[in-house]
Amino acid sequence: MQPPAEPFKIKVVEPVNLPSEERRKEAIREAGFNTFLLLSEDVYIDLLTDSGTAAMSDNQWAGMMIGDEAYAGSKNFYNLEKAVLDVLGYKYVVPTHQGRGAEHLMFQHLVKPNQIVPRNMYFTTSKLHVEIPGGKMVDAIIDEAHDPENLHPFKGDMDLNKMQKYVDDYGVEKIAFVSVEMNVNMAGGQPVSMDNLRKLREFCNDYKLKMIYDATRSSENAYFIRERETGYEDTPIIEILREMMSYSDGSVYSSKKDCLVNIGGFLATNDKEIFEATRNMVVIYEGLHTYGGMAGRDMEAVARGLREGTQYEYLKYRVNQVRYLGEMLMEANVPIVKPTGGHAIFLNALKFLPHLEREQWPAQTLAGAIYEDSAVRAMERGAVSKGRDKETGENVFPALELVRLTIPRRVYTNTHMEYTASSIINLYEKRNTIPGLKMVYEPKYLRFFQAKFEQMPL
Ligand SMILES: *Cc1c(COP(=O)(O)O)cnc(C)c1O
């Protein structure tokens, strides 16, 4: 495939440094083979996350200069409110410092002890914010999402049979609400179809259940609907978005992804009761209801970014840049999760390093080896991230042992993608020479952030 042409030109650059081979070897050892512990200045291409790492446009930076930092009634809040109405069709907006602030307010309002929240897979902070008020998140994604080789075009779809089973097994009153994530992060950035949303809405109507989206990656999801779903080939992205949202009772939103900003979030709804309850809580936890933890200038950047992030030419370039990296790897038979999603490429470490035992942490090993080879920073998403079983204390080895290469928006060029692919292909060719790791330090909570490792003899 041809590299996608960028729908922008570059006005400001930030120099990056490629450390020497000697320094890379030293740096990854100092970091205990944990890419979270590398210093950013030792990284050449940073593919750790797409969260808060986007490059803003000149229009967004100009908006930062007209930040109205009034404590109450900032004009930037009303610009944000207008942008949410125009793009997503919600009339009520509660601003928050980032996505998890919105989850906190929304879920504290909707979840009662011992209730369940079915969702298409899960997200770390969302799951926790369902658990804090005493609820439990349960999986209702289609089976295809759990198979890295399956080419289903909408691997983010909810399984209505699983939904029916939750209703039958638990009873409607035990379901707090139905949670639907757009372009499911943990499944590899896989979209939900409009058809599925429509059917789920009918299902929720039948049982009088509320349907709340995690709309964080809804613009990228809308792009996939236009690309793959019959009837939407020529539909403007904003129309697709508004139809998607029209099936919901509200959304939580982390602006750090599709809104092309470095910080921010909000929740939005047309349901007056949800709005009044959450607007009441926002003043306790985040800030006044016209800033919610964001500076006026940040709200302006979010308002402009929300609109910009729905431009078709931009989304086409964005999704195709991720795809370009994926195609280069697939051409060289490097095992990745298929089809390529919206924001990241996931390497299948069990297939990449079949000579390693699970206890030798293949994904952790591979992320370290990629850094050592090229100073590209990736992230482990496998057994180290999964942690230990709460009851038995044993390591849990999930079916998927992956390395995530997450692409920041508008930040890296296609040549950076080529550089990344060629390093990984080079490693794949000499994969038998990559030694596994031994965990030598294990923190009690969220161990993947701070665990340390040493190389074992091959
Ligand atoms: C990032 C993210 C969140 C949390 O948002 P923050 O802005 O990091 O607090 C919630 N849901 C999804 C799907 C995300 O990707």
Q: What's the pLDDT tens digit per position in 310-369?
A: 999 999 999 999 999 999 999 999 999 999 999 999 999 999 999 999 999 999 999 999
Ligand 1 mutation pick, 48, 49, 50, 51, max ligand atoms within 8 A of CB:
51
Query: Is pLDDT of 305 > 90?
Result: yes
CB 385 near ligand 1, within 6 Å:
no
Q: Specify the pLDDT at position 131.
A: 94
Cα(121)–Cα(139) distance, rounded to whole angstroms?
Answer: 5
What average pLDDT does the segment 160-166 reach?
98
Residue 187 pLDDT grade (very low, low, confident, very high; cuts 50, 70, 90)? confident
Ranges for all domains in the chain classified under CATH 3.40.640.10: 58-308
Answer yes or no: are the C-beta atoms of 345 and 336 closer than 8 Å.
yes
Residue 168 pLDDT greater than 90, yes or no: yes
The C-alpha atoms of residue 87 and residue 302 are separated, in whole angstroms, by: 12
Q: What is the pLDDT of residue 458?
A: 87
Instruction: Kindly tell me the burial class for residue 123, based on how many C-beta atoms sit within 10 Å of its own C-beta (0-12, 13-18, 19 or more).
Output: buried
Location of each CATH 3.90.1150.10 domain in the chain: 21-50+311-453
Distance (Å, whole) CA 189 – CA 33:
26
Q: Residue 453 region, left (φ>0) first, then alpha (ψ -120 to 50), else beta?
A: beta
**Whether the CB of 51 sits within 6 Å of ligand 1:** yes
Average pLDDT over residues 236-262: 98
Q: Is the CB of 100 under 6 A from ligand 1?
A: yes
Q: Say whether pTM exceeds 0.75.
A: yes
* Reported confidence tier of residue 417, pLDDT bands at 50, 70, 90: very high
- Evaluate if residue 446 carries a pLDDT over 90: no
pLDDT at 247 over 90: yes
- pLDDT at residue 398 greater than cutoff 90: no
Q: Say which amino acid occupies 251.
A: S
Nearest-5° Cα angle at 115, 113 to 119: 135
What per-residue confidence (pLDDT) applies to 65? Answer: 97
Q: Is the pLDDT of residue 264 over 90?
A: yes
> Which tens digit of pLDDT belongs to each residue from 63-79?
999 999 999 999 999 99
Confidence of residue 180 (pLDDT cuts 50, 70, 90): very high
Cβ(96) to ligand 1 under 6 A? Answer: no
Q: For residue 363, report the distance from its CA to the centre of ligand 1, in Å.
A: 23
Above 90 in pLDDT, residue 400? no
Judged against a pLDDT cut of 90, whether residue 390 lies above it is answered with: no
Q: What is the mean pLDDT of the chain?
A: 97
The pLDDT score that the predictor gives to residue 124 is: 85
For the 58-308 domain, the top CATH level (class) is alpha beta
Q: Determine if ligand 1 sits within 6 Å of the CB of residue 154.
A: no
Coil, strand or helix at 45: strand
Catalytic residues: 71, 123-124, 214, 257, 381, 448
Instruction: Give the Cα separation of 131 and 116 in Å (integer).
Output: 9
The whole-number average pLDDT for the span 88-94 is 98
Q: From ligand 1's centre to the CA of 103, what distance in Å?
A: 9
Closest Cα to atom 5, ligand 1: which residue? 99
- The CATH classification number of 21-50+311-453 equals 3.90.1150.10
Tell me if 265 CB under 6 Å of ligand 1. Answer: yes
Tabulate helix, strand, coil % of the chain (nearest 5). 45, 15, 40
The Å distance, Cα 413 to ligand 1 centre, comes to: 25
pLDDT at 389: 85
CA-to-CA distance for 14 and 408, rounded, in angstroms?
14
pLDDT in tens, 128-151: 999 999 999 999 999 999 898 999
